[in-house]
């Protein structure tokens, strides 16, 4: 079986220090969290950024400052900026980090309810616009699918040439408004993607570790991190993103799955060597 790529979603846009005091806002805190995840075995950092007061931003210069500071500590790590940003941001605001020509970025493949009155908007035209920018800038999209319909959208856009093969999916499961995080639903998503594609699973909240096990034994890849879950186990807050990654590494070892370093992850994902 292919080595396991562990992605750490270290920050997110919604989770706050009130939920876990280790949530990073400042540049220094982002570096600390990225390094803890990398040292534990993550090869890829899914990145949102904040202003120092915790407000989420897609500001290009803030992304550049955080990415440069992370690379100064861990030069080979893959950094995948979010183009989802936070609910309510405009398309062009969200696209800003793609101007930095990162190797990868997320491409959200549909609209969903995001709790209360919040709606995370991704119309077909938005998705096409983002996908075109990513092709233009040679960025590999991580296709964020919060439901089965989003996989179908990605496949239609792939057929029309907006997304290139081999596709890489991220099943984000357990969001209030998206697909649940059960094993049955995991199998449904996993069975709905082309055989030459790769996938990562990001289980939200209590689904994080059960779905990590599912992907480990299935040959998929795993995303953990504060964006999705702040607990190491029931009622126990994780002290760092690194602790969450360490837990996945322990589980992978139990099942005989080796961990990919960034060079190996780039090969698996079809990214150029760095």
Could you list the residues that contact ligand KMH (CB under 6 A)? 13-14, 82-84, 86-87, 106, 108, 114, 120, 144
Nearer to ligand KMH, 34 or 252 (CB): 34
Nearer to ligand KMH, 176 or 263 (CB): 176
* 8 A C-beta contact, residue 9 and residue 202: yes
* 8 A C-beta contact, residue 265 and residue 78: yes
* 8 A C-beta contact, residue 140 and residue 103: yes
CA angle 58, 64, 66 (to 5 degrees): 90
Partners of 237 in the β-ladder: 231
**Under DSSP, is residue 128 helix (H, G, I), strand (E, B) or coil?**
helix
> What tokens appear for 43 in the block?
């090869």
Give min distance, CB of 240 to Zn ion, in A.
Answer: 18
Choose one: 21-29, 79-87, 200-208, 238-246; the region binding Zn ion (CB under 5 A). Answer: 79-87
Nearer to ligand KMH, 83 or 126 (CB): 83
CA angle 88, 144, 255 (to 5 degrees): 140
The reply on whether position 82 binds Zn ion by CB under 5 A is yes
Give min distance, CB of 204 to ligand KMH, in A.
Answer: 11
Partners of 141 in the β-ladder: 105
DSSP H or E segment with residue 37: helix 27-40
Q: Which does 96 bind (CB under 5 to 8 A by kind): Zn ion, ligand KMH, none?
A: none
Nearer to ligand KMH, 29 or 142 (CB): 142
Q: Which does 87 bind (CB under 5 to 8 A by kind): Zn ion, ligand KMH, none?
A: ligand KMH
Give min distance, CB of 9 to Zn ion, in A.
Answer: 6
Residue nearest to ligand KMH (CB): 84
Give min distance, CB of 217 to Zn ion, in A.
Answer: 25
Nearer to Zn ion, 245 or 257 (CB): 245
Query: What single-letter DSSP state applies at residue 117?
Result: T
Task: For the chain, state the CA radius of gyration.
Answer: 17
Which residues contribute to the site for Zn ion (CB under 5 A)?
Answer: 82
């Amino acid at each position: 079986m292919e080595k396991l790529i562990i992605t750490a979603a270290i920050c997110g846009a919604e989770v706050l220090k009130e939920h876990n005091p280790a949530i990073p806002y400042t540049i220094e805190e982002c570096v600390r969290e990225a390094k803890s995840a990398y040292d534990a075995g993550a090869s890829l950092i899914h990145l949102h950024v904040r202003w120092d007061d915790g407000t989420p931003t897609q500001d290009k210069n803030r992304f550049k400052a955080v990415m440069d500071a992370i690379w100064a500590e861990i030069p080979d790590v893959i950094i995948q900026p979010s183009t989802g940003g936070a609910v309510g941001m405009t398309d062009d605001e969200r696209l800003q980090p793609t101007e930095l020509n990162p190797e990868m970025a997320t491409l959200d493949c549909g609209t969903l309810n995001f709790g209360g009155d919040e709606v995370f908007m991704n119309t077909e035209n938005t998705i096409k616009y983002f996908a075109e920018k990513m092709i233009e800038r040679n960025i590999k999209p991580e296709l964020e699918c919060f439901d089965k319909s989003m996989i179908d959208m990605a496949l239609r856009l792939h057929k029309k040439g907006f997304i290139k093969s081999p596709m890489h999916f991220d099943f984000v499961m357990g969001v209030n408004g998206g697909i649940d995080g059960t094993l049955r639903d995991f199998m449904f998503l996993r069975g709905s993607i082309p055989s030459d594609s790769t996938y990562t699973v990001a289980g939200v909240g209590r689904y994080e570790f059960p779905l990590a096990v599912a992907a480990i034994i299935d040959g998929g890849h795993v995303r953990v991190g504060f964006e999705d879950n702040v607990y190491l186990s029931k009622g126990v807050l994780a002290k760092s993103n690194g602790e969450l990654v360490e837990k996945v590494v322990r589980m992978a070892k139990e099942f005989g799955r080796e961990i990919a370093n960034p060079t190996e992850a780039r090969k698996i994902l079809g990214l150029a060597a760095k």
